[in-house]
Amino acid sequence: MMKRILNIAQIGAPVLRESTKRLKREELLSPPIQEFIDDLIHTMRSANGAGLAANQVHQSLRICAIEVKNNPRYPYRPNIPLTILVNPDLSPASELMFDNYEGCLSVPNLRGKVKRHCEIRVEAMDRFGNPIAETVRGMTAATYQHEVDHLDGKLFVDHVEDSKSSLILSTSQDRYFGKSPTPGMIR
């Protein structure tokens, strides 16, 4: 089957503000859900996203795709191999937080500074229903938190503490940061 590029919901779409539905393993393994996951990955890659949650493409399912591979939108992020999280639950592995500068395919042309946990525990299933239990750190942890926030009906703008100094148009980022912003360097 040919992979499709799905329509990405934009801020204001009700689906972005709803908690998503958990899947049973049998549902996950069904051909329509596996095909959807292929389309989700294809859409994320086509849009140069670091991740994409199912509700960002109008499907209220607790699934997200994450991958960073020399991404031009996020040149400062470390590479993350393709990861599919199904029914993810995250918990802080430490209380340490850091400022992370984020953008979103559903909030075009806007970037903002949000606080993220430095280290998180992840429990989920992969796309084949196998358990995932791992700890991720740093920018990878921030990416996971961003995507799982989507699955809980939250956007990065909900976490911005000071919208006057922490939000900029991404078209203006070069003026403030040079070619790529560095986390923790927000003025």
Annotation marks residue 147 as catalytic: yes
What mean pLDDT is reported for the chain? 90
Cα of 98 vs its chain's centroid, Å: 17
Residue 154's Cβ-count burial label (10 Å; 0-12, 13-18, 19+) is middle
Q: In angstroms, rounded to a whole number, what is the distance separating the alpha carbons of residues 87 and 173?
A: 34
Cα angle, residue 45 at apex, residues 42 and 46 outer, rounded to 5°? 80
Q: What's the CATH code, domain 14-177?
A: 3.90.45.10
Q: How far is CA 57 from the centre of its chain?
A: 13
Least confidently predicted of 7-11, 37-41, 163-167, 181-185: 181-185
- Please write the tens of the pLDDT for every residue from 43-63: 999 999 999 999 999 999 999
Global confidence as pTM? 0.89
139/102 Cα distance (integer angstroms)? 10
pLDDT tens digit string along 114-151? 999 999 999 999 999 999 999 999 999 999 999 999 99
- The confidence band for 168, taking pLDDT boundaries of 50, 70 and 90, is confident
Question: In this structure, are residues 106 and 155 in contact, taking their beta carbons and an 8 Å threshold?
Answer: yes
Query: What are the domain boundaries of the chain?
Result: 14-177
Which range is least confidently modeled, 6-20, 35-49, 53-67, 151-165? 151-165
For residue 65, the surrounding DSSP H or E stretch is strand 63-68
| pLDDT tens profile 49-99 | 999 999 999 999 999 999 999 888 888 888 999 999 999 999 999 999 999
pLDDT value, residue 148? 98
Give residue 181's pLDDT.
46
Which residue among the candidates 26, 102, 134, 147 is catalytic per the annotation? 147
- Give backbone dihedrals phi and psi of 103, rounded to 5 degrees, phi first: -130, 180
